[in-house]
Structure 1
């Protein structure tokens, strides 16, 4: 299950990153006004999504997969203001835009995506199992086993 979701999440982020680079206009429209150089930020976020997706699925380094998961989780956290801004802009339209039935689930799914990136990146195991810290060996341990 974890492997399947890892590849699915990586494909989602790789495609989203590609869209950020080849068609930044929709992302420009929802970027909050306080973001400096939004065109460059959108391009770099697209590259970050692609790099995170590649790191997440590469088979060689466990540490690199973890970094990819952490990076994608942080990315999802950082774009939350753009999602909120998108909802506010959209709901202010005469017809109400896509409506709350689109925006509310999207905002609710964001923490799930953050958790998923950490879980498939093998950073966390919660809620399925808890990692135990390795206990330091003490004198006499060999006698107890």
Structure 2
């Protein structure tokens, strides 16, 4: 039976992944201008979020999915920075929330790292 933190992670990423398809325009608008293929990147990240959500619930894929989710959080960080630097594009989101979200990403990386600790420690007892 999955542990509660794993369910929280799965729900968060499943919801986010689905949102990448349902409200793709919002995520496309969040993409930094220096990146190309905005729509494609949004759709790919949506698929990866859904796969991470499913994978984190399966014991055999949990460790790989956890590392993948952490990599994805890091990969989308530039979009979060872009949103914080351009709050005028996101009038329905508080500027304060856009900035608070930035350090929260690091907390979420830690949360995933902590949630997959039993699997990490089975593989490498030193980590």
Tell me the TM-score normalised to structure 2 length.
0.84
Map 1:104-143; keep pairs closer than 5 Å.
104-122=99-117, 131-132=125-126
What stretches of structure 2 of length at least 5 have no aligned partner? none
Q: Is the 8 A contact 2:73 2:109 kept in 1?
A: yes
Q: Is the 8 A contact 2:63 2:120 kept in 1?
A: no
Residues paired across the two proteins, number:
121
What stretches of structure 1 of length at least 5 have no aligned partner? 126-130, 134-145
Stretches (4+) displaced over 6 A: none
- Counterpart check, 1:29 vs 2:29: yes
Aligned alpha-carbon RMSD (Å) = 2.3
Aligned to 2:72: 75
Residue 105 of structure 1 aligns to a residue in which SS? helix
Tell me the TM-score normalised to structure 1 length.
0.75
Report the structure, 1 or 2, having the larger helix content: 2
Residue 98 of structure 2 aligns to a residue in which SS? helix
